[in-house]
Amino acid sequence: MARVRSPEKRSAILQAAVHEIAELGLGAPTAMIAKRAGVAAGTLFTYFASKEQLLNEVYLELKVEVYARINADFPHKGSLECRARHTWSNSLDWAIEFPEKRKASVQLNVSDLITPETRARTATERGTIDRTLDELGTRGALRGLPGGFPAAAMSAMQEATMEFIAKQPKQRKELMERGFQVFWRAVR
């Protein structure tokens, strides 16, 4: 048997990609990503067929990661507000904890390099969360709005909140809660 493809290396490349994208944008050279991952330039292409594919996988990994965190101790039996707050806090926590990941995620989000297929593949992981958020869509203020709107609204409000937490990290706790309250008033 030959040397076996190492998940660590693959992971290192993805991580390096996140870092470089956060720093240099989507134009970050694959050579630089490889270097930071501690592998040769050519090695990157044994793990990812092309830069575009690498970017798609980075996108996927980041999405999966947030959703995994939210799902981890999700209060399935909690009230709607409780579940919404859980989602709100956990994804914000992630974004604050890993600013590079968040930055890369944002860049990838607005890019046309991410294929519809890739975007679709995140649906699986989003299941639980979407169900909660969609429940919002059947009540109160959001009744009648298209499916997905609550999720989009939350994501949007988080974006806004995050910006301010980034500027005033000390008030993180408070801003996070106030942000949620604003959101909750809007949608409940």
Partner DNA sequence: GATGAATGAGGTTTCATTCAT
Partner DNA sequence: TATGAATGAAACCTCATTCAT
By the criterion CB under 7 A, which residues form the site for DNA? 1-6, 9, 27-32, 39-47, 49-52
Q: Which residues contact 87 (CB under 8 A, 6 or more apart)?
A: 70, 129, 132, 133, 154
Examine residue 178 and tell whether it contacts its own copies (CB under 8 A).
Answer: yes
Helix (H) or strand (E) holding 100: helix 99-109
DSSP 3-state of 79: coil
Phi, psi of 115 (to 5 degrees): -75, 155
Near its own copies by CB under 8 A: residue from 29, 42, 78, 127 = 42
Residue placing its CB nearer to its own copies in the complex, 72 or 110: 110
Q: What is the DSSP string of 59-126?
A: HHHHHHHHHHHHHHT--TTS-HHHHHHHHHHHHHHHHHH-HHHHHHHHHHHT-TTS-HHHHHHTHHHH
Cα separation, 59 vs 67, in Å, equals 12
The region of 31-39, 92-100, 110-118, 122-130 touching its own copies under the rule CB under 8 A is 110-118
User: Does 32 sit near its own copies (CB under 8 A)?
Assistant: no
Interaction between residue 167 and its own copies (CB under 8 A): yes
**Structure tokens of 79?**
């009230």
CB of 137 to DNA, least distance (A): 40
In the complex, least distance from residue 141 CB atom to its own copies, rounded to whole angstroms: 5
Q: Which is nearer to DNA, 26 or 80 (CB)?
A: 26
111 forms part of the interface with its own copies (CB under 8 A):
yes
Answer positive or negative: Cα dihedral of 162, 57, 73, 123. positive
Residue in 47, 48, 94, 183 binding its own copies, rule: CB under 8 A? 183
Report the interface residues with its own copies, using CB under 8 A: 2, 25-27, 40, 42, 106-107, 110-113, 141-142, 144-146, 148-149, 152-153, 155-157, 159-160, 163-164, 167-168, 175, 178, 181-183, 185-187
